[in-house]
Chain A
Amino acid sequence: MKASQKRILYVDDDADDRDLLADAIKLASPAIEVILAENGIKALEWLQSVRDQTAHLPCLIVLDLNMPFLDGRETFEQLRRDRILQTVPVMVFSSSESPADKTLFSNLGVDYFTKPSSITYMGQIVNHMINVCCS
């Protein structure tokens, strides 16, 4: 693992979405490594393994909300409780249109993206993510 390597951690239980977003990131910025996790538990496990080497931490964590075992909201809370992990920016990428979820995260200053229904819009979201956090 190269320390200078930029990484995005993407947590989603949906295999299709994992592929789509990872492809979109690769397309927009081939230099960025995408780490994929299928639920919050796996994501936290991976984060624990790099937690003490700040250079290896991702520049962004993208969270889906509805996942089995540990969902996006719970995962987010766990991240906020960790002195080091709370410094990593988080963005929500979910199909949930629930106003409650949107308000919750926008109040916390977290960008909230509803999963898009076209590949073009997907590209725009990914560009925004990279520009804000990983450039």
Chain B
Amino acid sequence: MESYINDAPCLFFTATDDGTIVSVNDTLCKLLDFQREELTGQKLDLIFTLATRIFQQTHFFPLLKMQGHAAEIFITLQTKDKTQLPVLINAERKADLDKPLCVYVGILVHQRKQFEDELLAAKKAAEAALHENTALQAAKKALQEHAQLLDQQISLSAKQYEELRQFSRVITHDLQEPLRKLFVFTSMLQTAKDEGNNERVVKKIRSVSEQMRSIVSGLQQYVWLTETPVSPTKINLQQMLTDILRQVEMENTGVSIRFQTEDLPEIQGDAAQMQILFHELFSNAVRFRKTPGEVSIRVKADTLMQNRFHVLPEKYEYTTFTRVQLSDDGMGFDASYKEQTFALFRRLHEVSGRGVGLSLCKKIIENHQGSIAIDSQPGEGTTVQILLPEAQQNVTV
């Protein structure tokens, strides 16, 4: 054997078709800890592990015999003391000799094995991570849903508490007061020295009774809005507002309303409740007009993205809202009192009003998961801004 092959940095050996070793190089002998004489003439089985022997018989040799060569075959050799060594083999079968000879060249691939193991481990880790990630995603989604539920419940219970507080104020104060006045006025009738005054007192009694009736009917409407579920439909806002305007004009003869609209979209909402809402807002604009015979109302709409979460801090999920803005050129009010305008039966103006109006509006908007805000300047008119989620749940067409 040529000397450079003998100590070349590769494992070189040849064998006959029946697996008898014909020659080996020094590198192989040294690596496997055999003497050359211990190997030549012996079967390949001596340096092949059991698995490699089976592989050799079923795949490697048949391939070699059929194709004449085989490349990058991964096998395991064993040393004299049975230590296993991973080896990558290229082989060729020289069939043109009298006795066909198989020539094997191999290199030790300790590191490749290590890389493969690492790769396998990394793949397993990646799969596990992916699995965990999926679980994490699901947990996150569930958490988000729970957070939203919690947000709704917190805002609902805060709302209910506030309503309860307002109801108790209405009952203890707003209803108690006219009742007390009825006592005062009737006691005036009983002790009257001056009969001429009686007609005035009776008038007062009638007006106070009317006041009580209107409070009770306002409460009834409020309770109705609390108890009746929202059944949303698609609403043509332009059409609805035009109809309501006509109605408000009829109710306020002698007042001319200039009405201007811009880009009114189709909205989703409970038609009956929306009717009450816009009727109330238009009536307010007319009631609190600056000039006696006329008022102008402008309504425009657009869309914007808003956080769906109302109370939970640092919780965000943006959905599309329709923003409707109604502006009038009426007498307006001091905006620092705007918080009070939505409370039940709170009146900022001495001008007649049931005082229940804006609290009903707020209730309706909250029934639709929206929000309502009011801005005003004394003498500069009032703007009401309504935000409604573009899509309501369970819309019937």
Query: Which chain A residue shows the least CB distance to B179?
Result: A117
Query: Which chain B residue shows the least CB distance to A66?
Result: B173
B173 touches A68 (CB 8 A): no
B208 touches A119 (CB 8 A): no
Query: Which chain A residue shows the least CB distance to B178?
Result: A16
Least CB distance from B106 to A in Å reads 97
Q: Is A14 an interface residue (CB 8 A)?
A: yes
Least CB distance from B170 to A in Å reads 12
Q: Is A116 an interface residue (CB 8 A)?
A: yes
Considering the chains assembled together, what is the distance between the CA atoms of A97 and B172 in angstroms? 9
B180 touches A115 (CB 8 A): yes
B184 touches A122 (CB 8 A): yes
Are A95 and B176 also in contact (CB < 8 A) when A38-B350, A68-B348 are? yes
Are A95 and B187 also in contact (CB < 8 A) when A16-B204, A68-B337 are? no
Are A95 and B177 also in contact (CB < 8 A) when A16-B204, A38-B350, A68-B348 are? yes
Within 8 A of A (CB), among B172-219: 172-173, 176-177, 180-181, 183-184, 187-188, 191, 204, 208
Q: Is B340 an interface residue (CB 8 A)?
A: yes
B184 touches A95 (CB 8 A): no
Within 8 A of A (CB), among B311-343: 334, 337, 340
Q: Is A20 an interface residue (CB 8 A)?
A: yes
Query: Which chain A residue shows the least CB distance to B183?
Result: A117
Interface string of A100-126 (1 = CB under 8 A from B): 000000000000000111111010000
Are A120 and B191 also in contact (CB < 8 A) when A16-B181, A38-B350 are? yes
Within 8 A of B (CB), among A16-55: 16-17, 20, 38
B337 touches A120 (CB 8 A): no
Considering the chains assembled together, what is the distance between the CA atoms of A120 and B183 in angstroms? 11
A14 proximity list for chain B (CB < 8 A): 177
Within 8 A of A (CB), among B125-177: 172-173, 176-177
In this complex, the member of A96, A118, A122 whose beta carbon has the largest number of chain B beta carbons within 10 angstroms is A118
Main secondary structure of the interface of A (DSSP, over half): loop
Least CB distance from B315 to A in Å reads 35
Q: Is B43 an interface residue (CB 8 A)?
A: no
Interface size class of B (residues with CB under 8 A): 20 to 34
Least CB distance from B86 to A in Å reads 88
In this complex, the member of B184, B204, B347 whose beta carbon has the largest number of chain A beta carbons within 10 angstroms is B184
A68 touches B184 (CB 8 A): no
Least CB distance from A7 to B in Å reads 23
B173 proximity list for chain A (CB < 8 A): 66, 95-96
Least CB distance from A74 to B in Å reads 13
B183 touches A118 (CB 8 A): yes
Least CB distance from A130 to B in Å reads 19
Least CB distance from B331 to A in Å reads 15
A122 proximity list for chain B (CB < 8 A): 184
Least CB distance from B377 to A in Å reads 16
B184 touches A119 (CB 8 A): yes
B348 proximity list for chain A (CB < 8 A): 68-69
Considering the chains assembled together, what is the distance between the CA atoms of A122 and B185 in angstroms? 11
Least CB distance from A39 to B in Å reads 10
B354 proximity list for chain A (CB < 8 A): none
B340 touches A68 (CB 8 A): yes
Q: Is B290 an interface residue (CB 8 A)?
A: no
Least CB distance from A117 to B in Å reads 4
Least CB distance from B395 to A in Å reads 40
A117 touches B337 (CB 8 A): no
**Can you list 7 residue pairs at the A/B interface with Cβ under 8 Å?**
A16-B208, A17-B181, A68-B337, A95-B180, A97-B172, A118-B184, A119-B187
Known: A16-B181, A95-B173, A95-B176. 10 other contacts (CB 8 A): A15-B350, A38-B350, A68-B340, A96-B173, A115-B180, A116-B184, A117-B183, A117-B184, A118-B187, A120-B191
A residues apposed to B, CB below 8 Å: 14-17, 20, 38, 66, 68-69, 95-97, 115-120, 122
